[in-house]
Amino acid sequence: MKVQWFNSVDQIGEAKWQAAIGETRYPFAQFAFHQALEQSKSIGDGTGWYPEYLLVMDDDDSPLAIAPTYLKTHSQGEFVFDWSWADAYQRYGMRYFPKRIWAIPFSPVTGVRLFSHLDPKGDDVPFSHLYPALAELMTQANQERDFSSWHLLFTKPEHAALFASNKDLVQRISCQFHWFNRGYKDMEDYLSHFSSRKRKTARKEREKVAKEGITLTRTIGRDLTPADIDFFYLCYQSTYAKRGQQGYLTREFFAQLAETMGEQILLVQAYKNDEPIAASWCFFDDHSLYGRYWGCMEEVDCLHFEACYYQGIEFCLEKGLQHFDPGTQGEHKIARGFEPVFSHSIHYIAHEGFRDAIGNFCEEEAQAVREYHQDTQEMLPFKRES
């Protein structure tokens, strides 16, 4: 096995990248996705995100796999929060940044973090011996450059388990809420599995939106117009502006993806009096829908639930998708049938004292997360088994 670091997807080239990842349709593995991040200047100089892709090759230089890693000078856009760790380093006069993350930028989506044609579905655990091998390589690279840490974010649970015996690594869990297709025929069939009270509530939420004269459309990325993208981007930035921030991604990122990955993009738009007032941007593959970005120009009761959740569920049912990951956090997803799932991250902390302290913190946090996971199971809207 050989490995080589690259600072740009174009240094690897589309042909070699796609040869490495094979036929996978996972949106966040595609050359086009990472190229759009770079070319749109959503990552790179001045952003605090500096790509270092790790290409794995066999002894004949044939590409086997790619691990997306980034040097970070801050912790924004990661969604596994370590700001308190960075603050602790600073209080002791130590440097936490730069650090390395092994992740998908701005995407708290659980999935493979080693893209390979040898494992197109990301479920071949024997092949995944490469994960701990590459972890050792990243640890060595960090030591050579005196970095504080590296972090593998939102990895699959079976891959997180591969690191369990490595006492130099800290495991961390959090809780998200995902929807699963249990063989539902359509939306009515799905809601029929809710308890009577929860079903009425869900229907009333949808009716509230309709009574406001709001209509919704679902458009595949290839059919988006520049005006659609302009409006969506206005919504996207408005979400961050409400928190006094600016969105991480540029308009060019979305426009480029509509051209290069249009077959894997879904845009939900809400209209009132024929004027758009809200939008939700998703990716999808042959198995899953991934809700990523949302915003609105007018606040309407229950519109967020309709545009971000009910429309996505309907799309999954129409397309036969089995899973809907709507994004991180949000207990409000539970009442719409999104089930609690654990998300996993792995952390290498170079400083032994901080490693122990962070490890103890993550163990205590994990107990609270497990209790929370159990509690939220009881809040699901589905009928109880008799």
The label of the residue with tokens 């595949």 reads 220
In contact, 298 and 231? CB cutoff 8 Å: no
The predicted-structure confidence for 230-282, as pLDDT tens digits, reads as follows 999 999 999 999 888 899 999 999 999 999 999 999 999 999 999 999 999 99
DSSP 8: S
Q: Which of 123-127, 137-141, 250-254, 306-310 has the lowest mean pLDDT?
A: 123-127
Q: How many Cβ atoms sit within 10 Å of the Cβ of residue 323?
A: 15
Query: Collapsing DSSP states into helix, strand and coil, what is residue 101?
Result: strand
* Strand partners of residue 336: none
Query: Collapsing DSSP states into helix, strand and coil, what is residue 29?
Result: helix
In contact, 157 and 172? CB cutoff 8 Å: no
- Which residue in 60, 48, 17, 80 sits closest to 260, CA to CA? 17
Residue 341's pLDDT band, with cuts at 50, 70 and 90, is: very high
- Report pLDDT for 127: 65
Q: DSSP letter string over 117-172? A: TTSTTS--TTGGGHHHHHHHHHHHHHHHHT-SEEEEEEE-HHHHGGGTT-TTEEEE
The mean pLDDT value for 336-343 works out to 97
* Cβ neighbours for 189, distance < 8 A, ≥ 6 positions apart: none
- Report pLDDT for 125: 61
Token code pair at residue 42: 């959503």
Average pLDDT score, the chain? 95
Number of H helices, E strands in the chain: 13, 13
In contact, 62 and 331? CB cutoff 8 Å: no
- Report pLDDT for 122: 63
* Cβ neighbours for 26, distance < 8 A, ≥ 6 positions apart: 111, 112, 115, 122, 285
Which amino acid is residue 346, in one-letter code?
I
In this model, does residue 386 exceed pLDDT 60?
no
In this model, does residue 126 exceed pLDDT 60?
no
